[in-house]
Structure 1
Amino acid sequence: MARFGLIGKNIDYSFSRGYFGDKFKALGLDHTYENVDLQSTEELAVFFKQPLPFQGLNVTIPYKAAVIPYLDELDSVAEAIGAVNTIKITADGRRIGYNTDHYGFLKALEPFLPLEDRSALILGTGGAAAAIVHTLANLDFRIQFVSREASDSALSYEQVSRYVILDHLLIVNCTPLGTHPHTEQSPTIPYDFITNNHLLFDLVYNPEVTTFMKNGAKLGAATTNGYQMLVGQAEKAWEIWNS
């Protein structure tokens, strides 16, 4: 039997526990997967001070960057992104950090490629955006950030014009807006300028069809949620734990 788990805060909703539980059952493995719900960075520090009885861990918000000081080694991709969502614990107790979010996003995006133009509007500049941008940069996409306040690196939502929408055929919602139970919410962009050449990719997966996606679909855009990205990153984590 091997133990695996997810580190996060308020994670009863977790995709990972159910997914891996079903996976272990299907494979006939007597493994366990448990939520490690930590309410503060202080609790995170205490957790990592002890020997960890796990073979592997996933990490979700808000600890993807906060775990890095407690690791012995970082994969080059995790180091480039600045966030870890997968930890492999070796037989001698070494903790190695990886980021599989970028892989999951790529696998979820591939069925929609190529777009007519490699241009992406990234809604949100938080930790969720880092892996997305890493993937898109490697695909030679032009990238424009949108944030609540304008800066040298981002437009404000008020600055997203008809031209901005038409000039970016991939629009990725990296914010939590629209997540259950606040399903009526969505990023405030001028959806009227969306076309059938657009792809709206929502990292939110609950509900299955978000308001962001509905707003794009009304105008003929392709849409997808974050579920397949989660599946892709989970399968990559499983591969890492077993390598």
Structure 2
Amino acid sequence: MLPNNKKFGLIGKDISYSFSKKYFTEKFAQDLYEDCSYENFDILNIEDFPSVLKNNPNLKGLNVTIPYKESIIPYLDTVSDKAFQIGAVNVIRFTKKGNLKGYNSDWFGFKKSLEPLLQVHHKKALILGTGGAAKAVAFALDQLGITYSFVSREANPNTIDYSLINATTFDNHQIIINCTPVGTSPNTKEFPPIPYNYFSKQHIAFDLIYNPEETQFLKKAKKQGAVTKNGYEMLVFQAEKAWKIWNK
């Protein structure tokens, strides 16, 4: 068991819905980590991060969520090789020397969650979004040998515009992954602007969102026969990976 009064928490914005607080609070209760607690640190700007550290001297580990997975990096002393390659951090470990080291467990959680669904014909993916979560997903796809294209509302050299997605795009990309927050509760009627009628039973639709359990994105894809999965299992895998990192 960890030494007394270990505090863990989540850095993010508008995070009252957070998976992490409930998950770790229940984990600590079930596994009798009586002196561990988990708190949400809802900050308006990344500039407020140092004050969280100052006001919570017994912090031993943090998770990081939207919109700070990239902007938190300059506040850290070091980052792991994988987090550096990804360009996003979702786990922070407080080292014995008191330094802050950033890691990424999102890629690990996504890879473990997607792998059981993969078949021989799943060779290429469309990643909706270009933020920190999308970068972790891209890293995981690289590990799996799956090529991918990013989709964004803003024109970038390595991205496809939503308006250009058509039947051919769907023929060429058998995995469609929503890495945007579009469709998250309470905005459950929203969905990414793609032509859902081109989904088929040859496709996987994966949504990183877990609340609601079935987003409009997943419902529309399932209606066309696609295999669907939400982000809950990915979050469990990444949370357990974070716990291992904190206890190194």
Bin for the TM-score computed over the shorter chain: over 0.9
Matched, 1:62 2:67: yes
Whether the 8 Å CA contact 1:87–1:97 is kept in 2: the answer is: yes
Kindly report structure 1 stretches of 4+ aligned residues shifted beyond 2 Å: 45-52, 149-152
Whether the 8 Å CA contact 1:200–1:213 is kept in 2: the answer is: yes
CA distance in structure 2 between the partners assigned to 1:185 and 1:178 by the alignment: 5
| Equivalent in the alignment of 1:149 | 154
Change (3 A) 1:151 1:59: closer
Return the match for 1:35 from 35, 40, 51.
Answer: 40
Matched, 1:211 2:206: no
| Equivalent in the alignment of 1:237 | 242
CA distance in structure 1 between the partners assigned to 2:57 and 2:105 by the alignment: 21
Return the match for 1:123 from 110, 121, 128.
Answer: 128
Give the C-alpha shift of residue 48 in structure 1: 4.5
SS in 2 for 1:55: strand
CA distance in structure 2 between the partners assigned to 1:187 and 1:10 by the alignment: 21
| Equivalent in the alignment of 1:223 | 228
Whether the 8 Å CA contact 2:64–2:89 is kept in 1: the answer is: yes
Give the C-alpha shift of residue 154 in structure 1: 1.2
| Pairing 1:154-169 to 2, within 5 Å after superposition | 154-169=159-174
After TM superposition, the score normalised by the length of structure 2 is: 0.93
Return the letter of the residue paired with 2:16. Answer: D
CA distance in structure 2 between the partners assigned to 1:167 and 1:192 by the alignment: 15
Instruction: State the percentage of identical aligned residues.
Output: 49
CA distance in structure 2 between the partners assigned to 1:229 and 1:186 by the alignment: 20
Return the letter of the residue paired with 1:11. Answer: I
Whether the 8 Å CA contact 1:120–1:142 is kept in 2: the answer is: yes
| Pairing 1:52-91 to 2, within 5 Å after superposition | 52-91=57-96
- Tell me which moved more, 228-237 or 66-75: 66-75
Return the letter of the residue paired with 2:10. Answer: L
After TM superposition, the score normalised by the length of structure 1 is: 0.95
CA distance in structure 1 between the partners assigned to 2:33 and 2:73 by the alignment: 30
Return the match for 1:190 from 192, 195, 214.
Answer: 195
List runs of 5+ in structure 1 lacking aligned partners: none
| Pairing 1:86-125 to 2, within 5 Å after superposition | 86-125=91-130
Return the match for 1:138 from 122, 143, 148.
Answer: 143
List runs of 5+ in structure 2 lacking aligned partners: none
CA distance in structure 2 between the partners assigned to 1:115 and 1:181 by the alignment: 37
CA distance in structure 1 between the partners assigned to 2:147 and 2:96 by the alignment: 42
CA distance in structure 1 between the partners assigned to 2:120 and 2:41 by the alignment: 40
Whether the 8 Å CA contact 2:162–2:193 is kept in 1: the answer is: yes
Change (3 A) 1:49 1:68: farther
Matched, 1:20 2:24: yes
CA distance in structure 2 between the partners assigned to 1:115 and 1:174 by the alignment: 23
